[in-house]
Amino acid sequence: LVIQVFVYPNAFDTHGVWAVALLYLAKFGPGTLALDRLLVPRRLSASSPA
């Protein structure tokens, strides 16, 4: 917040976009299109011990 106010005072719109994206991901998570979900396949069988 200090950098936003004192170093880049005219960039509130850019910081707002990043803040909205961060809050969305914090609330809803990355979803089904996340890269880690696509790269690391999950096991289909839930009965196997971990």
**Domain spans in the chain, listed from the N-terminal domain onward:** 2-29
Residue 9 backbone zone (phi > 0: left; psi -120 to 50: alpha; other: beta): alpha
Question: Which whole-number Å values give the CA distances from 37 to 32, 34, 41, 49, in the listed order?
Answer: 7, 5, 7, 21
User: What is the b/e burial string over 12-33, where b = at least 16 CB atoms within 10 angstroms of the residue's CB?
Assistant: eeeeeeeeeeeeeeeeeeeeee
**Each residue of 1-36: pLDDT tens digit?**
677 778 888 888 888 899 999 999 999 988 877 887
Please tell me the pTM assigned to this model: 0.55
